[in-house]
Amino acid sequence: MFGKTVKELGDALRRKDFSSTELTTAYLERSKTLNKEVNAFITFDEEQTLAQAKLADEILSTDDATALTGIPIAHKDIWCAKDWITTCGSRMLENFRSPYDAHIIKRFKECGAVTLGKTNMDEFAMGSSNETSWFGNVKNPWDLGRVPGGSSGGSAAAVAADMTPASTGTDTGGSIRQPAALCGISGLKPTYGLVSRYGMIAFASSLDQGGPMAKSAEDLAILLEAMVSFDDKDSTSLEKPTVHYSSMINKSVKGLRIGIPKEYFSDEIAPDIQNGVQDALKEYEKLGARLVDINLPTSPLSVAAYYVIAPAEASSNLSRFDGVRYGYRAPNYSDLNDMYAKTRAQGFGAEVKRRILIGTYVLSHGYYDAYYLKAQKVRRLISQDFAHAFKTCDMIMSPTTPSTAFKIGEKVSDPVQMYLSDTFTIAANLAGLPAMSIPCGLDRNQLPIGLQLIGNYFDEAGMIAAAHQYQCATDWHLKKPPLHNV
């Protein structure tokens, strides 16, 4: 049963090769065993998981089964799921059991998918290495001494180690694409507003977007069909006609104009990544695409703008974690202010506190114009750059990250170096554009290299098709980490 894609498993389930209960039980066992080494999951809840599998088996015996019915899916622990402990990787929510379902969790339930467990993540999605989680860092299945990337590191590592057929993640500045690249899997961040944020614990509301993580582009299409749906509980949710992504994956890339931004191909990028990405671009040319040089002149400012806007929103979004109504409360305190101070000092980790401080600072009286407003102006310029670029190309390609998976502990003491690992991914969030990462090679240490695709607004179908064409022609997405043989 292992090693298969969602597509293959779905076909097998409907063929009755095995039941969802069998599949789910097998994955639960494998996941639990591997989790001792990888630490990709924070929570398993066998009882709820198997109850869902049983329900799925009933649906599978009817004609109502969908492509996802009976498939175990791991959800990033940022999504509220009814009756599940939902921690967001934080001590603050260590014991928080959500009384409601996020919109996408509801959608997966409607499709008959089974929640396999909740995956580890950087605390409140703040981090690029999964080292800020209160529940310990996740290890990269390709090299257990290295990070899986973040913040959706648990979701990425779980797919890479085949601890789950597929998973969900969220991407605020690269949190789906960067770990997908570092773990050698496929991940997609949709256009802002396409996937409801209701029930996703907010980090930076104007940038946060949920998306699928899987073994192939085809699987991303299947998952995305479940995740994209208008939600009247999210004011930023967009009402769009339904797109059948999985029926559009065979679209050829012949004549596709691929924009190559020179700002994303600097000398700071590891040579193996340069080579891997260049090989992928050559492959696209072979498939009939055309490479076009483009400029994204303001994109070097994206990290700076992001680290003003995201912390500003986060500082406000995280105010609700005050120890009053739910979550962690410090055991001893003298008065209300002391309760707030101790609760938040003990409940949040260092990186979260750092970002709350930055955010509070940039929104403060006297600094707002110089930081927050200026960053918003940069954000608009970045969007304009992309709009301009899309006049001469249909899709943009670049490396997903400047380096492959780095060693655990390597960057924890240098937040700026850590922040720079998202240098190529952040601009798409600032502009609200869809973007994805697919595997395109292995470096000299046998670590995966990611190719980033940035599409125009709502061109998820085009991107997935382009990725699928590449995956039909190459086998990088089929490479397995050594751990896979456990």
Smallest distance, other proteins to C-beta of residue 315, A: 8
Distance separating alpha carbons of residues 285 and 466, to the nearest angstrom: 12
Residue 39 parent element (H or E)? none
* SS3 label, residue 42: strand
Residue 177 parent element (H or E)? helix 177-183
Figure out which of the listed residues 360, 402, 457, 458 binds other proteins, where binding follows CB under 8 A: 360
* SS3 label, residue 454: strand
- 327 burial level (CB within 10 Å; 0-12, 13-18, 19+): buried
Tell me the one-letter amino acid at 278.
Answer: Q
* SS3 label, residue 391: coil
- Judged by CB under 8 A, does residue 372 bind other proteins? yes
Smallest distance, other proteins to C-beta of residue 358, A: 13
Q: Name residues contacting other proteins, limited to 215-274 (CB under 8 A).
A: 232-236
**With respect to other proteins, which residue has the nearer C-beta, 226 or 310?**
310
Record the tokens describing residue 105, joined without a space.
């969790």
Our separate counts of H helices and E strands in the chain read 15, 11
The neighbouring-strand residues paired with 155 are none
**Catalytic-labelled residue, pool 20, 31, 98, 151:** 151
Answer yes or no: 247 catalytic: no
Q: Name residues contacting other proteins, limited to 3-62 (CB under 8 A).
A: none
**Catalytic-labelled residue, pool 155, 167, 175, 302:** 175
Answer yes or no: 128 catalytic: no
Smallest distance, other proteins to C-beta of residue 205, A: 4
**With respect to other proteins, which residue has the nearer C-beta, 93 or 258?**
93
Q: How many CA atoms lie within 13 A of 431 on its CB side?
A: 28
- Judged by CB under 8 A, does residue 431 bind other proteins? no
Q: Name residues contacting other proteins, limited to 308-347 (CB under 8 A).
A: 312-313, 315-316, 318-322, 324-326, 336, 340
Count of residues touching other proteins (by CB under 8 A): 44
The vertex-439 CA angle with 262 and 249, nearest 5°, equals: 95
Answer yes or no: 175 catalytic: yes
- Judged by CB under 8 A, does residue 80 bind other proteins? yes
**With respect to other proteins, which residue has the nearer C-beta, 162 or 313?**
313
The vertex-430 CA angle with 122 and 238, nearest 5°, equals: 95
Distance separating alpha carbons of residues 138 and 481, to the nearest angstrom: 15
> In the sheet where 72-76 sits, what is the strand order?
41-43, 114-119, 72-76, 166-171, 209-214, 186-189, 435-442, 448-455, 395-399, 257-261, 290-294
Which positions from 178 to 217 touch other proteins by CB under 8 A, shown as an x/- string?
A: -------------------xxxxxx-xxx-----------
Confirm if 455 and 395 have CB atoms less than 8 A apart.
yes
Q: What is the DSSP letter of 87?
A: -
Distance separating alpha carbons of residues 130 and 89, to the nearest angstrom: 9
- Judged by CB under 8 A, does residue 278 bind other proteins? no
Confirm if 98 and 82 have CB atoms less than 8 A apart.
yes
Q: Name residues contacting other proteins, limited to 434-453 (CB under 8 A).
A: none
**With respect to other proteins, which residue has the nearer C-beta, 63 or 335?**
335
Smallest distance, other proteins to C-beta of residue 310, A: 11
Smallest distance, other proteins to C-beta of residue 245, A: 25
Smallest distance, other proteins to C-beta of residue 207, A: 8
- Judged by CB under 8 A, does residue 356 bind other proteins? no
Tell me the one-letter amino acid at 267.
Answer: D
Figure out which of the listed residues 27, 41, 84, 96 binds other proteins, where binding follows CB under 8 A: 96
In sequence order, the 6+-apart residues with CB closer than 8 A to the CB of 475 are: none
Smallest distance, other proteins to C-beta of residue 383, A: 15
Which positions from 279 to 308 touch other proteins by CB under 8 A, shown as an x/- string?
A: ------------------------------
Smallest distance, other proteins to C-beta of residue 349, A: 16
Instruction: Specify the stretch interacting with other proteins by CB under 8 A; choose among 91-99, 111-119, 218-226, 392-400.
Output: 91-99
Smallest distance, other proteins to C-beta of residue 317, A: 9
**Catalytic-labelled residue, pool 7, 76, 106, 215:** 76
Residues 186-217 as b or e (16 or more Cβ within 10 Å = b): bbbbbbbbbbbbbbbbbbbbbbbbbbbbbbbb
* Nearest by Cα to 261 from 172, 392, 418: 392
**With respect to other proteins, which residue has the nearer C-beta, 141 or 190?**
190
Record the tokens describing residue 55, joined without a space.
């329900």
Record the tokens describing residue 198, joined without a space.
């209701």
**With respect to other proteins, which residue has the nearer C-beta, 78 or 116?**
78
List residues with catalytic annotation.
76, 151, 175
Q: What is the binding site for other proteins (CB under 8 A)?
A: 79-80, 86, 88, 93, 96, 98-100, 102, 197-202, 204-206, 232-236, 312-313, 315-316, 318-322, 324-326, 336, 340, 360, 363-365, 368, 372
